[in-house]
Amino acid sequence: MLNIVVCIKQVPMVTELPWDEKTGTLRRDLAAGMMNPACKRAVEAALQIKEKQGASITVMTMGPPAAEEVLREALAMGADRGIFICDPILAGSDTYATSFILAAAIQKEASGCDLILCGAYTSDSETAQVGPQLAEELNIPAAAYAEHLDISGRILRVRRLVDNFRETLEMEFPALVTISMERYEPRYASFAGLNKAFMETDIPVLNAEALGITAANLEARGSRTKVRRVFIRKTQKENVMITGAAAIAAGEFLDRYQRAISAVIGKSIEAEKQA
């Protein structure tokens, strides 16, 4: 039977959250959390493999205490086991640190697993980096943005749409695949499933120490990125009325937009005028 690990993430439920100007991170505390949509499709992909040929599904997440919720939801959908990585010293990890920590957790709790699935990207940061970086950490083949998986024996065929080309990749287990938003429409969790996920299932919590991660490790393998500045991009539209006699108005139009017009026609109006 296949052993599948699905790495999932909790994201804020709304699309626009205020930033914390000091730290440059989202004020996640201001919104209810939900399972990242692409991660939910990765869980669905795992469940469909399980239904077709049998598999044991472990779902894993790292996050603050509230993130446990997405593991419960994945269990309610039909996953078999949840692993929760939660430790304040791991807070604020970037994708580089996150993939290092996830790799440590997989090696500890799901060593020898056949297939690792991730969402292709998250709705809050959209880096799409954790999946491929995790494959590097574990030194296994990976394919990103998959829309369909087909398994025969130990061979995995991954269909994906990249740059408007549909391609099929083939690899052997163990492998890592990130699931795009194209297919694998996730199922609803039933209330019986939700109740069971809360009332009858224990989820072990792993802290940094349990994963063998020390302050020294984090020094070496911790976050490499720093958010220097965050800002909300403002777009504005403005209607400009140029009035007056045609010749004067045309002149004013050229003066006002000469840079934009030059860019379009490929030569400098300024130079033209001077000539």
Partner 1 sequence: MQFNPCMKHKLIRNSARHFAEAELAPIAAEIDQQRIFPRDVIAKMGELNYFGLQVPKEYGGAALDSISAAIVVEEISRVCAAVGLCVTVHNGVAVYPFLQFTNASQKEKYLPQLAAGNAIGAFSLTEANAGSDAGSVETTAVKNGTDYILNGTKIFVTNGGVCDVALIFALTSSPDNKLQSSVFIVESKFPGFLRGELEDLCGMRANPVSSLFFEDCPVPEENLLGKQGDGMKIGLTTLDNGRIGVAAQALGIAQGAMEAAVKYAKERQQFKKPIASQQTIQNYIADMATEIMAARLLLYRACELKDAGAAFGCEASMAKLYCSTVASKVTSLAVQIHGGYGYSKEYDVERYFRDARVTEIYEGTSEIQRMVIARAILSQQMM
Q: Which residues bind partner 1 (CB under 8 A)?
A: 13, 32, 34, 66, 68-69, 72-73, 76, 188-192, 194-195, 198
CB of 195 to partner 1, least distance (A): 5
CB 8 within 8 A of CB 67: no
CB of 33 to partner 1, least distance (A): 9
**Residues for the chain: how many in total?**
275
| Residue among 40 and 81 whose Cβ is closer to partner 1 | 40
Residue placing its CB nearer to partner 1 in the complex, 73 or 124: 73
Q: Which is nearer to partner 1, 140 or 194 (CB)?
A: 194
Instruction: Tell me the closest approach of the beta carbon of residue 25 to partner 1, in angstroms.
Output: 22
Please, what is the minimum distance in Å from the beta carbon of residue 95 to partner 1? 26
Beta-strand (E) ranges in the chain?
2-7, 10-12, 19-20, 25-26, 33-35, 55-62, 81-85, 115-119, 142-152, 155-162, 165-172, 175-179, 205-206
- What is the signed CA dihedral for 69, 75, 77, 80, rounded to 10 degrees? 160
Distance of CA 132 to the CA centre of its chain: 11
Instruction: Please state, in angstroms and rounded to a whole number, the distance separating the CA atoms of residues 119 and 102.
Output: 14
- What's the min distance (Å) between Cβ of 252 and partner 1? 29
CB nearer to partner 1: give 51 or 167. Answer: 51
Closer by beta carbon to partner 1, 53 or else 195? 195
